[in-house]
Structure 1
Amino acid sequence: MLPDIEFPKSGDYRTGAEHDPLTFYMEALVESTRLDLLLGYFSSSAISVLALGFAKFISNGGRVRLIINHILSEQDKAAVLAGSTTSAAAYSFHVADYESLRRALDSYGHHFFDCIAWLIATKRVQIRAIKPKDRRGISHYKSGVFYDGENKVRFKGSCNFTASGLLENLEELAVTLSWKADPDAFAEYERTYNQLFDGQSDYAELISFDDIEAVIVRDYGGKDLDELLVNEQKLAAQKAGEIRSQTHQRAINKILQKIDTYLASPRFPYESGPRDYQRDAYQNWVGNDYKGIFAMATGTGKTITSLNCVLNEWAKTGQYQAVILVPTTVLVEQWTHEARKFNFREIITVSGQSKGWPAELGRITTQLSFGVGTSFIVIVTYKSFTKPAFQTYFKRLPKTTVLLADEAHNIASPSVAQLLDGVHLTKRIGLSATPRRVYDPEGSAHMEAFFHDSEPYTYNFSMERAIAEGILCQYYYFPHIVSLTPEEIVDYSEISAKLAKIYARTKGSDQAAKSVEMLLMQRKRIIHKAQGKLTAFETILNDIIAKREEIDYTLVYAPEGFYADTEIDEEAFSTMTEDNRIIDFYASIVRQVSPTTTITQYTSNSDDKELVLKQFEAGQINVLLSMKCLDEGVDIPRTEQAIFCSSTGNPRQFIQRRGRILRQHPDKGFAYIYDMVVIPRADPNSPTFQLERKLVQKELERVVHFAFMATNKYEAMNVFREVCAAYELNLDTIHTELSA
């Protein structure tokens, strides 16, 4: 804050004195978030001279408004014009990357002027050029105001904002402090400044950057032309090292300490700060006694939202302490990457692939046992979490450590659930797009009890809202009805007949109920492995090529398992692998339809999973074939289209799979989802008709989830008009029941 500066009692700064103008600028920049400068001559060399303080000012979120005269060097004019007409994305700077910014400002070459252009493009520096109305002459002001959000310091003096003004000339300036002056002392100056900046002054007019005169020597009354003759590069290179003032050296040391603190401190990874909903999630969590479930659609930033909670707790205590549970080693890497964005530096990963974590956790727990305040982020797979070796260290962590459970439904799995009653950490966050365990109400209740939460949960962010707000991209849904082959119909009918015989005996008979369950699973496998899916898959690929000319950025969810020899129509599909693995058939069809398309399988046995995802993101792999492996948490925003060949009635699976595809990407407009829906032949007179109707309704629940949020909703629904009529079903009714 500005009052932390030791200002001279006189309020005056002079070159050669204990308090010199260069010291003032450096100290005030570091403590400020805004600077208004009303200048005559301006040279970006002044920014180079003040690089140390200026880069810290920018990392504070600082912004500068400059009003200058209409004379600039050739290089400065080029930088101003570039920044005014080019997107900030064209430059390689980022506010959070302090070191990169400081190095750029500290060097006086091409990179330096790129940095100046970036500052202008990002509106970190806003420049207005003025000249007197209806007269010769130039703007020759030398004043300004620093702001820190609460306090202000106004200054006025002889010093131009140039390298020579700061380093070579004998200059002076006087300051006025808002906390010691009359509250109205700044009002008139600020009003005048705003009028000049907005072009509303009676005595000065704005000129366009194109009209700025880029000169080295030009006669403007013979005044201050030496400003334009100075060799700026050599002067900037001298920097503050030549200043002998003790006050200046103390200022530099203070700045260096602040910079060290900044570089070591956690911070939100994006300059814009947390979104409103991320702030709301934190407040709701605090309001629920630091417990709760964040039910947030895939792609809405569950990771960022929860790490922001850890960041807020760090702001209170000065320490970040969290244990993050994740389902897979791939997610260990993703969470590590995201945590580093927050500048959390003390990160320990624990999984089957991690080594050395016992020593690292041992060091942390030893420090804690001696009362040493220690920060840490432990990222551990659920499997490793259940191991006694990890539990030994886990139990020694402070009870105020934040426990984050990613894909929180996993916490109710038997191996983890048996440990929950012994968990001593009181701050808990569960994260999931689909918290409820559909086929495990007891597990859902156990999970909700652990997080002291229930529907609609501490924070809820629906997919509908995410699409409406542009956080997820809009999508088209193209369902394809798949029919059974004659052989599959025979098998399906035989199983259905057996079901009909024992269905009436299921009530009160455990043995009959188990038989029904077994037969239903057998019939479901027929649907799962239906050969018609292979034909539909080929049709879909050809449709994609017809519409888009190539198959790229495509994710295929293939069925798990193997085909039996008797399940393969050898005339239609030759045996493609020795073991008839289903995913290999789909891979072969891609090669047949488009020989130049590059494909890779992504399964639980795949090596270098992270490398595969990077190659897919870069377009080096066009099609990624997965078996279930990409259901939870993996971030692949570049996916533009997905083909669902694996029938699933589990909402968690198909909702999370859809979320993989809907993540935003700069090069992606819409997503395209192709879905295979297997519908058995309807026979209202069949004794198993009602069982079949329930099976079809389960398939249509997925259709409803997908179709009702799709851009082509009515087109997608119309595909099932005849099916709904045959089975006496209504998609709107199903949607209403699901929404209840």
Structure 2
Amino acid sequence: MKLSEIELKEEYRTGHDDLVNSFYKPCLQEASSYDRSVGYFSSTVFLLIGPELVKFAQRGGKIRLVCSQYLSNADIEALESGYHPVIDEQFVENSLLSSVNLLMQNTSTIKNTVALATLIKCGCLEVKIAFRKIGNGLFHEKVGIIHANNETVTFKGSINETWNGWHERGNYETIDVFRSWVEGRDARQVYRNSEYFETLWDNDIDALDVIPFPQVAKSKLESISKESIADIEPDTLDDYFMPPNIEQIDYEAPKRTPLPHQVNAIEAWKQQGCRGVFEHATGSGKTFTALVALNEHLKGGGVALVLVPDRLLHKQWSEEIKSDIPDVILLKAGDGHDRWRKNRRLNTITQPDKDLGVRVVLATMATARLPEFINAICAGPHLMIVADEVHEIGSLENSNILTIDAGKRLGLSATPNRYGDPVGTEKIFNYFGDIVQPPFTLVDAINSGRLVKYEYLPEAIRFTVEESEQWELETKAIYKEYARSKRDANGAPITSVKLQLMLIQRSRIAKKASAKIPYAARVIKENYKEGESWLVYCEDQYQVREVISALKESGHSPCEYHTNMKGDSAASLEWFKQFGGIMVSIRCLDQGVDIPKISHVIILASSQNPRQFIQRRGRVLRISANKHKAVIYDAVMVPICLDSEPGQLSLLKSELQRSIQFSGTAMNKSGSTKLITIAIELGIDPQECGFYGTDGIEELGDVEDE
């Protein structure tokens, strides 16, 4: 049959016409080639057509597709097989890498996925990506061209290559159809559309760049691709157009499976006798990695104790455990949950009895360290302990938990070493075991698409005369107290509570320096664009109010978030997560707080504790839809002259320490160059500014920034 023998209408509308059965399928059955440009592409349309598309390819049919870089989660893995690396466009890679595993994880569609991967590998389907050269807009041109026996049908309209685009139960869509054998309007439009596509495919349109699809998961897809399209049996594929399968398309999310770095970490942990610490960057999936190991332990009849440092993580872990282990018996302790105290419930639920079911105890460290809890739990080799943010368990009080005997032990932290607390750090590793090699670093997370890349833009901020004088006075007092400190057997100072409080008080002078307020207002005025999500990280409520006032004077409408704010802090946070804008906050980037949409952050009150500033950076870099990079603005305190302000030496070193660390993994690695130049002019060697390269005063304890 010829295309001209198909009864085609000039216009089709979903809800009124069956686009798939009356247009798409019959044309494809007769076609020799199919060219398509769309705003975005989803492979679920090929799951719909399934057998018909394979027969089309086996007849020698070819598909050329041009689309935007924003592909749906279900496309990436099937589209990669058969391509060689030709570019390194990071903003494309970030949008693709974040969801490369989803399609192959869906076992219900695996046959169709294998078929699609094979079509790409064998060259039956070729894909290119179109970008606008100027601006950040998407490529939205939607044209389709179907060739068969010297006849051509072209169509234009709002429809995308998705299930929602083609099916009558999807979006409301319309297309206009043009036929080469109809003289006049139709023939002219077929010529124009065909010429346009060839120009687009050849990258000859001035406003656009059209590039081959980049390599994302080529090796993985080749492992499931067949050698030839002849090896695919079309009739064995599912036709997702027919009920009840249609309900599964785009609605049934596949269950998570561990990524390679997670599988490798669990294997290495087992080789260490099921003892060790996962030093994995924030955003790398530590929680899920631990759940995989924990679930395996539970299936073997064991019991698990999960420890978290705060209420927010307690809630998050509760949701994760229930989601991944639906048949779990979960006993909560802490965060207002005290049922564990009644009727020896904690002891009963932790007994080594497989007949009691799948059991997990989820406790805050503040509760688990109580003698009542420690004495009640049934310890032993059947018990597995997982400690999230394991660095927290090394404190003087929390380390009481480390007396609980357990077989399998797993700690999780992006920064397991306790800043300035070698004793607490030693306790952690003595109990849990060594760091499981290799660590999964921030660079690993960025390169694998778990985090986005970032720009780092520090700026030197200086004290007022009054602030500088106050810093010098408090520094002298600290040195006097430091000199009076008692020493241990090795001659190291024993930190007193008074000295800790003095350090905290002095650090707030820098964090609340008055010059930071106009700096934040200026950065936002010069760089903020409507629709972005910005966070201004402050020290306290007073600084929050000052920043909000300055921003309102500039015509902005910032929102506020902290636990002691007037109004509903949770509602404020949810509003920002949904709508973006500018949020001025306190402690919003610490452990357990996730707002992936944040694309820009201004750090006014940065910690001198490496653990905290590394953790905060990682949270800014979390992936989110259409987020291709993050931008970090950092207010760095720098003295004018060390001769007249000698007390600021340790401050400069600690500030440089953070800046050098941030710059080292940024897209613009020269971000801290200006600050390094200032340091050299002040007589400071930047190489001295390692994590523990201060003058000793800043190393007295992990509580410095609390």
Instruction: Answer yes or no: same fold by TM over 0.5.
Output: yes
What's the offset of the Cα at 1:447? 0.9
Distance 1:465 1:726 in 2: 35
2:317 corresponds to: 335
Distance 1:713 1:639 in 2: 21
What's the offset of the Cα at 1:513? 10
Distance 1:670 1:330 in 2: 27
Conserved? CA contact 2:608–2:658, under 8 Å: yes
Distance 2:348 2:49 in 1: 46
- Secondary structure at 1:618 match in 2: helix
2:598 corresponds to: 639
1:450 corresponds to: 431
Letter in 2 for 1:195: A
- Secondary structure at 1:719 match in 2: helix
Within the candidate set 300, 313, 324, 2:297 is matched to 313
1:13-28 to 2 correspondences below 5 Å = none
Within the candidate set 669, 691, 697, 1:713 is matched to 669
1:122-521 to 2 correspondences below 5 Å = 123=113, 195=230, 197=232, 273-315=257-299, 317=300, 319=301, 321-346=303-328, 347-354=330-337, 356=339, 358=341, 362=345, 365=348, 368=351, 372-391=355-374, 393=376, 395-396=377-378, 399-421=381-403, 423-453=404-434, 456-495=435-474
Within the candidate set 679, 690, 693, 2:649 is matched to 693
For the structure 1 residues 193 and 631, does the alpha-carbon distance in structure 2 shift closer, same or farther, using more than 3 Å as the test? closer
For the structure 1 residues 512 and 487, does the alpha-carbon distance in structure 2 shift closer, same or farther, using more than 3 Å as the test? farther
Distance 2:350 2:648 in 1: 63
Within the candidate set 505, 515, 534, 1:554 is matched to 534
Distance 2:493 2:629 in 1: 50
Letter in 2 for 1:444: T
1:566 corresponds to: none
Conserved? CA contact 1:640–1:670, under 8 Å: yes
- Secondary structure at 2:545 match in 1: helix
For the structure 1 residues 657 and 606, does the alpha-carbon distance in structure 2 shift closer, same or farther, using more than 3 Å as the test? farther
What's the offset of the Cα at 1:587? 2.9
- Secondary structure at 1:399 match in 2: strand
Distance 1:672 1:550 in 2: 16
Distance 2:483 2:370 in 1: 46
Distance 2:227 2:622 in 1: 48
- Secondary structure at 1:666 match in 2: coil
- Secondary structure at 1:484 match in 2: coil
Q: Deviations over 1:72-122 (max 9, x none)?
A: xxxxxxxxx9xxxx976599xxxxxxxxxxxxxxxxxxxxxxxx9x95996
For the structure 1 residues 632 and 367, does the alpha-carbon distance in structure 2 shift closer, same or farther, using more than 3 Å as the test? closer
For the structure 1 residues 433 and 350, does the alpha-carbon distance in structure 2 shift closer, same or farther, using more than 3 Å as the test? same
| Alignment TM-score, normalising by the size of structure 2 | 0.59
- Secondary structure at 1:710 match in 2: coil
Q: Deviations over 1:243-278 (max 9, x none)?
A: xxxxxxxxxxxxxxxxxxxxxxxxxx9557211111
| Alignment TM-score, normalising by the size of structure 1 | 0.57
2:633 corresponds to: 674
2:619 pairs with 1:660 = yes
Letter in 2 for 1:677: V
Conserved? CA contact 1:368–1:374, under 8 Å: no
1:6 corresponds to: none
What's the offset of the Cα at 1:583? 2.6
- Secondary structure at 2:470 match in 1: helix
User: Gaps spanning 5+ residues in structure 1: where?
Assistant: 1-61, 72-80, 92-115, 135-190, 200-208, 215-231, 238-268, 562-580
Letter in 1 for 2:280: M
Distance 1:503 1:634 in 2: 35
Letter in 2 for 1:538: A
What's the offset of the Cα at 1:584? 2.3
- Secondary structure at 1:600 match in 2: strand
Q: Deviations over 1:40-75 (max 9, x none)?
A: xxxxxxxxxxxxxxxxxxxxxx9998479979xxxx
1:43 corresponds to: none
The alignment's C-alpha RMSD in Å is 4.7
Distance 1:275 1:548 in 2: 36
Within the candidate set 655, 658, 664, 1:702 is matched to 658
Pick 1 or 2: higher relative contact order, CA cutoff 8 A, min separation 6: 2
1:111 corresponds to: none
Conserved? CA contact 1:411–1:417, under 8 Å: yes
Larger Rg: 1
Conserved? CA contact 1:349–1:378, under 8 Å: yes
- Secondary structure at 2:627 match in 1: coil
For the structure 1 residues 459 and 497, does the alpha-carbon distance in structure 2 shift closer, same or farther, using more than 3 Å as the test? closer
2:576 corresponds to: 616
Same amino acid, percent of matched pairs: 26
For the structure 1 residues 361 and 666, does the alpha-carbon distance in structure 2 shift closer, same or farther, using more than 3 Å as the test? farther
For the structure 1 residues 365 and 551, does the alpha-carbon distance in structure 2 shift closer, same or farther, using more than 3 Å as the test? same
For the structure 1 residues 70 and 349, does the alpha-carbon distance in structure 2 shift closer, same or farther, using more than 3 Å as the test? same
Conserved? CA contact 1:407–1:633, under 8 Å: no
For the structure 1 residues 344 and 585, does the alpha-carbon distance in structure 2 shift closer, same or farther, using more than 3 Å as the test? same
What's the offset of the Cα at 1:484? 1.1
For the structure 1 residues 704 and 121, does the alpha-carbon distance in structure 2 shift closer, same or farther, using more than 3 Å as the test? farther
Distance 1:495 1:392 in 2: 45
- Secondary structure at 2:579 match in 1: coil
Conserved? CA contact 1:707–1:717, under 8 Å: yes
2:682 pairs with 1:727 = yes
Q: How many residues align?
A: 486
